Amino acid sequence: MTSIQIDGLKYQYPTSDFKLAIDQLTITENLVAIAGQNGAGKSTLFKLLTGLVHPQAGEIHINHRDLASLTPEDRLKTIGIVFQDPSSQLFNATVEKEVAWSVLQVETDAAVVADTVNDALATVGLTELKDKNPFDLSMPEKKLLSIATVLAVNPQIYLFDEPMISLDWPSQQLVTHLMQHLAEEKHQVIAITHDMNWLAATFAKVDVLADGQVIFEGKPETFFGDSALTQKTGLMTPRIMQIAQEVFDDSRVYLTPEDYFEKHSEKR
């Protein structure tokens, strides 16, 4: 069981007024969404969690170990990140080399490296494209490749920054199943997302940020049920709630069309 414990965290960019301040945040669930408007501090939180930037104050503990004390290799094995823009994660000449580059950071045995690369590419369905240049891939393929580079290292904790963006429908299904599978295998999977439909359908726990602070922790149902809170955070409700509101003037919480169906078939 993985746990992330954040205490008294403060971070401010040198060039802007934006401030991230998290007094206390504990993440123990295996599948967690982080939501919030642009500029709420979601990506900054991810950068702090990966150690790409260092907090001015406060501590981050992962499994009771201080993040700052991890060696670079331990850090890679503990926490991996998939960026929103896959182009900024890819820089090798072929798809295969791209994944191998990641594995070589933590593994030296050539046979193990080759196996790991093949497995990772097979998982995201890119085996046939392994000799292609990553820049020639379509956007969804690039995104899947950037996910494969993290899968190959297989860290305990996976961070996904807007994983649904620039994916088409089948690859959205693939990535969602992959994330659920990782969570079942005792990995911790944390995703930043704007997509409230996906959030409502996929996650049982959501942390909501606004202006650099955590203002909600809990179930999506509770969050979407509090219309004052959703408005304050500038987030929208899932499409199904908008439909219920507009067509039936019904402002109850529904997460998915299936959820609506179940809630209404009980009454029949």
Partner 1 sequence: MEIRDNSLSNIAKIRWYNLIDPVTKLLVALFLTMLSFVFTNLYFEVSLVLISFVLLLLSRLSSATINAVYFCLFLIVTMILIQGLFYSGNVHPLFSIMNITFYREGALYAVTMSARILIIIFAIGFFMSTTTISENAKYLEAIGLPYKLVYLLMSVCYILPQIQQNMKKIQFAERARGINPQKTVAQKVRSILPILIPLIIKTFDQSINRSITLQLRGFDSPERTLATPKYHYVRARFNHYLLSFLTIFLIGCKLWQIFSRFL
Partner 2 sequence: MANIQQISITHLSFTYQHDTNTVLHDINVSAPLNSIIGIIGNHNAGKTTLCRVLAGIIPNMMGGDLLGDVHIGNLSPTKDWSVLNRQTDFVLQDPNSQLSGLADTVADEIAFDLLNHGVDETTIQRRVADVAAQMQLTAQLQQSPSSLSGGQLQRLAIATAIVTKPGILILDDPTSEMDPQGRADFFNWLATIKDTTIFIVSNEIDDLCEIADRLWVLVDGELVRKGTSLEVINQLNPEWQIGTPKVYQLAKLMYWSLGADLFPVNINQLRGCVHDQHSN
**Interface with partner 1 (CB under 8 A):** 50, 52, 71-73, 75-76, 81, 83, 87-93, 101-102, 105-106, 133-135, 149
- Compare residues 104 and 243 and give the one whose CB is closer to partner 2: 243
Least distance from C-beta 59 to partner 2, angstroms?
A: 30
Least distance from C-beta 150 to partner 1, angstroms?
A: 8
Q: Is the dihedral of CA 217, 218, 219, 224 positive or negative?
A: negative
Report the C-alpha gap between 210 and 45 in whole angstroms: 12
- Compare residues 25 and 106 and give the one whose CB is closer to partner 1: 106
> Which amino acid is located at 69 in the chain?
S
83 binds, among partner 1, partner 2, none (CB under 5 to 8 A by kind): partner 1
Least distance from C-beta 182 to partner 1, angstroms?
A: 18
Report the C-alpha gap between 221 and 252 in whole angstroms: 10
18 binds, among partner 1, partner 2, none (CB under 5 to 8 A by kind): none
Q: What is the DSSP string of 91-128?
A: -SSSHHHHHHHHHHTT---HHHHHHHHHHHHHHTT-GG
Cα dist from 209 to 38, 47, 49, 63, 68, whole Å? 10, 15, 15, 23, 24
**Count of residues in contact with partner 2, rule CB under 8 A:** 35
Residues that bind partner 2 (CB under 8 A): 37-38, 84-85, 138-141, 165-173, 194-197, 234-236, 239-240, 243, 246-248, 257-258, 260-261, 264
